[in-house]
A and B are shown apart, each in its own frame.
Chain A
């Protein structure tokens, strides 16, 4: 499944940032995000695959997609 940037309400570009900054940036955005809104996260940290799955599970937000294109990981997350 390929996610294009147009499907998300917000984008977090965390490419080049090491753990745990992709999660910190995303969690910060989610603090003020309305329920139902979607966020696309771009990251290059390999640890982010398991981190975003765990973060979504723990916070109750919906990880709609987790894909990889080359060295870039894309996550589509919906705020519950």
Chain B
């Protein structure tokens, strides 16, 4: 199982980011390399000053979805950011910010949470993706 898991994160809502963190965790636990490329609103959610904020849910969640997510969190579910921090402890995960999105949001590397390993363009992302599938979330 050497082909990396390649996740392109676009959405910045907590539910999608949590789903992505769970996928990354499962792959990393199996020793599979994980490449994460942060674009647009997902990148915005990784700003150091707001990574712990409430990032809302995807529109399809609705009110019932909001209540279900809140209940799980109150029961002690780990946040997506904390999940990713623990995955870092396993090694093998690389989180890169899309340089175009950095320009769009007018942010620099210093604005990002330490979870983010660096900034790269899409060509570098594809190079690291190798033969593994690319999943857009």
A pairs with B: yes
Q: Please report the C-alpha to C-alpha distance between residue A25 and residue B87 in the assembled complex, in whole angstroms.
A: 9
On whether the beta carbons of A28 and B30 are closer than 8 Å, the reply is no
- Chain B residues with CB under 8 Å of A16's CB are 75-76
A27–B83 CB distance below 8 A: no
Looking at B21-29, B98-106, B116-124, the stretch in contact with chain A turns out to be B21-29
Question: Are A23 and B29 touching (Cβ within 8 A)?
Answer: yes
Count residues of chain A with CB under 8 A from any CB of chain B: 16
For residue A16, which residue of chain B has the nearest CB? B76
**B53 contacts the other chain (Cβ, under 8 Å)?**
no
Given contacts A17-B78, A21-B78, contact A59 B90 (CB under 8 A): no
**A57 to B, closest residue via Cβ:** B30
From known contacts A55-B30, A59-B30, A59-B31, infer whether A19 and B89 are also in contact, taking CB-CB under 8 Å: no
Quick one: which of A18, A24, A59 contacts B87, CB cutoff 8 A? A24
Tell me the bound Cα distance from A26 to B77 in angstroms: 17
Chain B residues with Cβ below 8 Å from A17 are 76, 78
| A36 CB–B CB distance under 8 Å | no
Interface string of B14-47 (1 = CB under 8 A from A): 0000000010011011110000000000000000
Chain A positions within 8 Å of B, measured between CB atoms, are 16-21, 23-28, 31, 55, 58-59
Residues on B facing A (Cβ under 8 Å): 1, 22, 25-26, 28-31, 72, 75-78, 83, 86-87, 89-91
